[in-house]
Amino acid sequence: MSQASPVTTMAATLGDAAVVSPSRPPRPGAGAFMKVVREPIGLIGLVIIVTLIVVAILAPVIAPYPPDDQPGRRLESPNSTYWLGTDDLGRDIFSRLLYGARVSLQVGIIAVGIALVIGGILGLLSGYYVGIVDALVQRLVDILLAFPTLILVIALTTVMGASTATAMIAIGIAYSPAIARVVRGATLQVRQEQYVEAGKTIGVGPSRMILRHIVPNIAPPVIVQSTLLLSTAILAEAALSFLGLGTQPPAASWGAMLGAGRKYMETAPWVAIFPGLAISITVLGFNLLGDAMRDALDPRLRQR
């Protein structure tokens, strides 16, 4: 058996995403997109995510109040002026939720982007060169996987100072082993293919080989993994901000709003209920989309 134990594969947070088979999937494209949209699950996921992106971009236009304004009395229950009530400082919760969408999406996308870059490079090197490079990278991945993720993120944010930016970097670093595993597995499979052998024979250099021939062919499982990781990253940011280690007040972050609202749970439950709902719906959107994409991009599952 090779050194990579089947257990350490990234089944952790992703449920049956671990069954994703990177075996010669078709290239993602318009066909795959149609398949995602045709499934109710994919369509609902896509609608949620698109709505969220629009809301995030248009927040200053849609929001009735600027996020830091204190137009109301403190802890007003939902009413016709403040649809979702006000928080302990008299700020409009609805407006803050809209602005909070920016934080969540930004953190999710940038953190996964960082994980893709670090994990992608590690995974490609490991899968393409095998041998000593592979052994070294695998040990590094093992170390990061054995290190408790949330604790790593907490320690990194403490080192770099709590802020949205450090939350993104810390989450990105912590999730890079998950990407590295998937990329390595897919690369190992692709490098056996004849077109890679053929390319080597006619003298295609390693960088061209990796960028032009391997990366496009390992894309489907990596895209699926990234979509599912987006939801995990958003949850992680929320947890960090809930603990007071992520986005700092007065910036509107769902996790921070939830953490602050917790104190008023019995008298003003809406302060904590709505941010939690926003997190759940967003994460659900990415999970739905991720599931639908896996079904569309993984030919092995589609046959069933």
Partner 1 sequence: MSRYIVRRFVLLIPTLFGVTFLVFALMRFLPGDVVNSLLGTEATFSEEQRATLRRLLGLDQPIYVQYLDWLRSLARLDLGVSFRSSEPVLQMVIDRASVTIELALLSVIVSTVIAVPLGVITATHRGNKADVLAHFVGLVGLSIPSFWLAILLLLVTTLYIPWSPKLIWINPLDDPVQNLKQMVLPVIALSLSLVAVVMRMTRSSMLETLGQDYVRTARAKGLRERLVVLRHALRNALIPVVTVIGLQIGNLLGGAVVIEQIFGLPGIGSMILTAINQRDYPVVQGGVLFVAIAFLLINLCVDLLYVYIDPRIRY
Among residues 133, 140, 165, 169, the one that binds partner 1 under rule CB under 8 A: 140
44 or 215: whose CB is closer to partner 1? 44
Instruction: Kindly state whether residue 61 participates in binding partner 1, applying the rule CB under 8 A.
Output: no
Instruction: Kindly state whether residue 43 participates in binding partner 1, applying the rule CB under 8 A.
Output: no
Among residues 23, 77, 81, 280, the one that binds partner 1 under rule CB under 8 A: 280
Instruction: Kindly state whether residue 76 participates in binding partner 1, applying the rule CB under 8 A.
Output: no
Among residues 47, 109, 243, 249, the one that binds partner 1 under rule CB under 8 A: 243
SS (H, E, C) the chain: CCCCCHHHCCCCCCHHHHHCCCCCCCCCCHHHHHHHHHCHHHHHHHHHHHHHHHHHHHHHHHCCCCCCCCCCCCCCCCCCCCCCCECCCCCEHHHHHHHHHHHHHHHHHHHHHHHHHHHHHHHHHHHHHCHHHHHHHHHHHHHHHHCCHHHHHHHHHHHHCCCHHHHHHHHHHHHHHHHHHHHHHHHHHHCCCHHHHHHHHCCCCHHHHHHHHHHHHHHHHHHHHHHHHHHHHHHHHHHHHHCCCCCCCCCCCHHHHHHHHHHHCCCCCHHHHHHHHHHHHHHHHHHHHHHHHHHHHCHHHHCC
Instruction: Kindly state whether residue 53 participates in binding partner 1, applying the rule CB under 8 A.
Output: no
9 or 163: whose CB is closer to partner 1? 9
Using CB under 8 A, list all residues that contact partner 1: 1, 3, 5-9, 11-16, 18-19, 41, 139-140, 142-143, 145-151, 154-156, 158-159, 161, 231, 235, 238-239, 242-243, 258, 262, 265-266, 269, 272-273, 276, 279-281, 283-284, 287-288, 291, 301, 304
